[in-house]
């Protein structure tokens, strides 16, 4: 320690002695190790005491790579729960992407979804499209709720993202946790938990990201942390179906017969809605548009987008055909929209298998 060193060895220098050791004479590493061990012990002892999802409502994310079942914290995240159910039934999430993997595909921490801009600007291989991903909103936000201080962010937790320094949380975007994420604890509101299908999210986290896509590498507009881990070959959420007591609630879009029961749902592969039905009334809306906004359907134009140049239906073009047309094979939707090859393809089409994002 510094006090044991001879002062003459520091001839001409003024030494600012850091407090490397506590009164217990433990190094910072030892103290950190002890704190981590104490935290892990607390986690083990209190995991069972944490509130669990309640109620008989289940939502199923029907994705291009399988189904994900969510059970909600209805009692301690009531506003978030009711809002998610409302948006799902309106079709707000239909055709959106699981668009971002925090931590990158090499060490994924959580996967983000629910951004309406991933639907309206749905070609992640076009720079002007993917630069909008992660910035989408539906015109209102939500307050924090009781679950924020009662539920920790463990694998499978579905949570509402909060912007830095904001006192509100996103009303549409969500994050699904893959690793314990303590920096989100008591900061964001967990409102659901994945009870089946977490493997779908794990595979989504392994899909190719911006940093791995050669045409984007070195692009200064795509090197920041919030952009380099955007997913260029994303899993698509075809639709989100809400069930109560095992039966589908009424939705504003068509369900197949198998999708009307949570039991028979598992026997039918998820399929996208037909192109004629995919928008389901969703439109981009200028901030100064006349009339009351339709909640969950009127989506604010992205910042910098000119309503006179960008159609109210955005620049959506089909990526995957509906079931029965080449079995969800990818179609071209480049600027020509008819046979271009700059669209991402499903991993199995490229010979990589379902778990290989690229």
261-292 pLDDT, tens digit per residue, is 999 998 899 988 988 899 999 999 988 888 88
How far apart are the C-alpha atoms of 103 and 118, rounded to whole Å? Answer: 20
Q: Are 102 and 230 in contact (CB under 8 A)?
A: no
Measured between alpha carbons, how far is 11 from 22 in angstroms, rounded to an integer?
27
Q: How far is CA 249 from CA 71, 80, 147, 179, in A?
A: 15, 18, 25, 32
Q: How many CB atoms lie within 10 A of CB 357?
A: 24
Reported as a pLDDT band with limits 50, 70 and 90, residue 25 is low
CB of 304 within 8 A of CB of 284?
no
Q: Where are the domains of the chain?
A: 57-350
Distance CA 259, CA 291 (A): 35
Confidence of residue 5 (pLDDT cuts 50, 70, 90): very low
Q: What is the pLDDT of residues 297-312, one digit of tens each?
A: 999 999 888 888 899 9
Residue-wise pLDDT for 123-140, tens only, equals 999 999 999 999 999 999
Cβ proximity of 171 and 163 under 8 Å: no
**Domain covering 57-350, topology:** Cyclophilin (2.40.100)
Question: pTM value?
Answer: 0.78
Give the mean model confidence (pLDDT) for residues 176-188.
Answer: 94
Kindly give the residue spans of alpha helices, DSSP state H, lying in 147-190: 147-150
CA angle, 133 as apex, 89 and 98 as ends, to 5°? 55
Instruction: Tell me the mean pLDDT in the region 2-7.
Output: 44
- Mean residue pLDDT across the chain: 83
């Amino acid at each position: 320690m510094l006090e044991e060193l001879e002062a003459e060895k520091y001839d001409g220098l003024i030494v600012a002695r850091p407090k490397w050791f506590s009164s217990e004479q433990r190094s910072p590493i030892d103290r950190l190790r002890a704190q981590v061990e104490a935290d892990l012990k607390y986690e083990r002892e209190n995991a069972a005491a944490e509130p669990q999802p309640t109620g008989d409502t289940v939502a199923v994310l029907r994705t291009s790579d399988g189904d994900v079942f969510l059970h909600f914290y209805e009692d301690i995240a009531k506003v978030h729960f009711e809002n998610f159910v409302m948006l799902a039934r309106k079709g707000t999430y239909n055709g959106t992407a699981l668009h971002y993997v925090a931590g990158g595909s090499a060490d994924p921490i959580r996967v983000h979804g629910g951004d309406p801009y991933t639907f309206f600007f749905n070609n992640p291989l076009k720079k002007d499209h993917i630069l909008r991903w992660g910035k989408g909103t539906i015109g209102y936000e939500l307050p924090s709720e009781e679950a924020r201080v009662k539920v920790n962010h463990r694998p499978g937790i579905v949570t509402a993202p909060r912007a830095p320094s904001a006192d509100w949380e996103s009303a549409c975007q969500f994050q699904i946790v893959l690793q314990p994420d303590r920096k989100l604890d008591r900061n964001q509101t967990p409102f659901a938990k994945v009870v089946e299908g977490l493997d779908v999210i794990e595979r989504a986290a392994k899909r190719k990201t911006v940093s791995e896509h050669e045409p984007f590498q070195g692009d200064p507009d795509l090197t920041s942390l919030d952009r380099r881990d955007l997913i260029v070959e994303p899993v698509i959420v075809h639709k989100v179906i809400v069930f109560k007591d095992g039966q589908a609630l009424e939705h504003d879009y068509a369900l197949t017969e198998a999708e009307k029961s949570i039991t028979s749902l598992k026997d039918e592969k998820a399929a996208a809605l037909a192109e004629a039905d995919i928008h389901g009334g969703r439109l981009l809306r200028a901030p100064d548009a006349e009339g009351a906004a339709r909640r969950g359907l009127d989506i604010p134009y992205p910042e910098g987008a000119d309503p006179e140049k960008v159609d109210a239906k955005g620049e959506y073009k089909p990526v995957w055909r509906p079931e029965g047309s080449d079995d969800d094979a990818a179609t071209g939707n480049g600027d020509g929209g008819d046979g271009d090859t700059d669209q991402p393809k499903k991993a199995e089409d490229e010979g990589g298998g379902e778990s290989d994002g690229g």
